[in-house]
Amino acid sequence: MQSFTYHCPTEIIFGRGAEDAVPAKLRAAGARRVLILHGGGSAERSGLLSRIEMNLTSAGL
């Protein structure tokens, strides 16, 4: 086996309105395009998915 280093930092933000922080965090990471992956339908039913999509679109992502 070859030697290697694997680095995978993860930041998880919890709380009311946490989705509002998503565009700034992605911009800071250098993101230009975003893939949204979600399970079931609760993200859609609660309106969370549409809020995230709106925030990303407004930020030009």
Q: What is the pLDDT of residues 29-55, one digit of tens each?
A: 899 899 988 887 898 999 989 999 999
Whole-angstrom distance, CA of residue 56 vs CA of residue 29: 14
So where are the chain's domains?
Answer: 18-58
Q: Which pLDDT band, with edges at 50, 70 and 90, does 58 fall under?
A: very high
For residue 25, what are the CA distances in angstroms to 6, 10, 40, 46, 49?
22, 12, 25, 23, 17
Instruction: Tell me the average pLDDT across 14-34.
Output: 90
